[in-house]
Structure 1
């Protein structure tokens, strides 16, 4: 009996020593490499950016993130560049790759998590919760999710007043004077639909495709959405090409310019961006009186919510 008691005491002492080590993993991860702008935004929103030791080239918001060491483009991350930062964790969006590089990194023992299931508008909150869990800051995750609920509710309120759906064309960029536009199955298509509009190109093709002058004139969109940071320059460019020169969108001055990471980033600002887009596509519908856009110029910090 005496031996059993001694063994019992030793076992409990061992467990007491082991428990802190088991709980240490997430709490002590202080060196994180991020491949994907939305994840970077989330970590900054948690005010945990000091834990980021490297980012990919799509991590452009907030602007401070661009000062972090770079590890390449999200789809072409660099093994040597990442390992040189001595990371403890790699967090990546669904298109992080190539797969060969991910396997090489994992074979070194680097812990990785790729958000393959939450990289869309519907999955923003789940992505936030998972990042919060991995960083052991679940309470900050809850606060950010609650903040985003206001954006979701504002959008629902506005769309409840909508009686018609405008035809929209989403232009990613101009390539040799030819617009590259969004068909079905793209992030832009998801955003347009969520904002209560019709992606006029979706019935013609999937993915991103160049659009001929004839096809563009036949579509004749009510609104054109384009990516850019210098709005008026982009409006002038689109209005001058024959594809859109005589379109309803140009005639009615309904060419909308949005920052790409804001509208398509699928990060904590995207639900607000959709609400803002919907308010422009449906000017007669109103957002709630007490709702304000709060994340246009700076990261949404949890502690200020």
Structure 2
């Protein structure tokens, strides 16, 4: 292990310690971090697999996937900052990078406020810091507008459905639950001790949701509807998976669609 670290350090030294003038060189290790970086005015020099938004992210070199991260390649790219995610970035390899002098920032927005906060955190690393601050302000304003508009709405019972076999859902301490409650949704599993509990069909049926939210497209909604009929007479609404599952700027689009599904008469 020690020899491995020394070899990596030698690679880093040989590639040059001086940072290039101009915009900070940023690498993102998760798709939602890529989205946040772009929203803050940062074009990463490398990204993770599945970084497909905005479209230009698809053309950037990928240095991470579900199997791990390419430590040697990251060193060769001489980043000023690597953005990591505690929910998916491998701790051992991140420790390696830090031991070799690479600055790593953990960015884990898990709340509505945390999303705009992440953009503000990125501002010092943006070639356009004011753009990052403005993006944060706009995002916060859109969330606040939804909160104000639906503040007095009657609550509706909702099941946030992720997967079919097994069934699992999001509980209180998740961003997805915050998006739902923003406009009067009542999460039927908010009281679960686990943030992402696995649940049974019977548990869902006994809690009588009026609305089921699934990530995906209309085909996903049709599969869910078929799964629950005829025992459960609930409306099923699909929300694009990236909007609902990624903790990024497009989370506000998920919130807006959730509000429309909860209160169609208010549109």
TM-score (norm 1): 0.72
Q: CA deviation at 1:86?
A: 3.5
Q: CA deviation at 1:223?
A: 0.8
Residue 233 of structure 1 aligns with which residue? 219
Question: Per-residue displacement from partner, 1:228-269 (whole Å, max 9, x unpaired)?
Answer: 1xx22112211222x4543231xxxx2111123213423222
Task: Determine the C-alpha separation between the residues in 2 that align with 1:223 and 1:27.
Answer: 53
- Note if contact 1:183-1:202 (Cα within 8 Å) is conserved in structure 2: yes
Given the alignment of the two structures, is residue 53 of structure 1 paired with residue 59 of structure 2, yes or no?
no
- Note if contact 1:192-1:199 (Cα within 8 Å) is conserved in structure 2: yes
Structure 2: gaps spanning 5 or more residues: 1-17
- Equivalent of 1:133 in 106, 109, 124: 124
SS in 1 for 2:163: strand
Instruction: Evaluate the alpha carbon distance shift between residue 209 and residue 161 of structure 1 in structure 2; reply closer, same or farther with a 3 A threshold.
Output: closer
SS in 1 for 2:164: strand
Ranked by relative contact order (alpha carbons within 8 Å, sequence separation 6 or more), the top structure is 1
SS in 2 for 1:208: coil
Instruction: Evaluate the alpha carbon distance shift between residue 151 and residue 78 of structure 1 in structure 2; reply closer, same or farther with a 3 A threshold.
Output: same
Given the alignment of the two structures, is residue 212 of structure 1 paired with residue 200 of structure 2, yes or no?
yes
Give the 5 Å matches for 1:137-286.
Answer: 137-162=128-153, 164-175=154-165, 178-228=166-216, 231-241=217-227, 243=228, 245-249=230-234, 254-286=235-267
- Note if contact 2:47-2:62 (Cα within 8 Å) is conserved in structure 1: yes
Structure 1: gaps spanning 5 or more residues: 1-23, 287-305
SS in 2 for 1:33: strand
Residue 77 of structure 1 aligns with which residue? 69
Task: Determine the C-alpha separation between the residues in 2 that align with 1:42 and 1:132.
Answer: 11
- Note if contact 1:106-1:112 (Cα within 8 Å) is conserved in structure 2: yes
TM-score (norm 2): 0.81
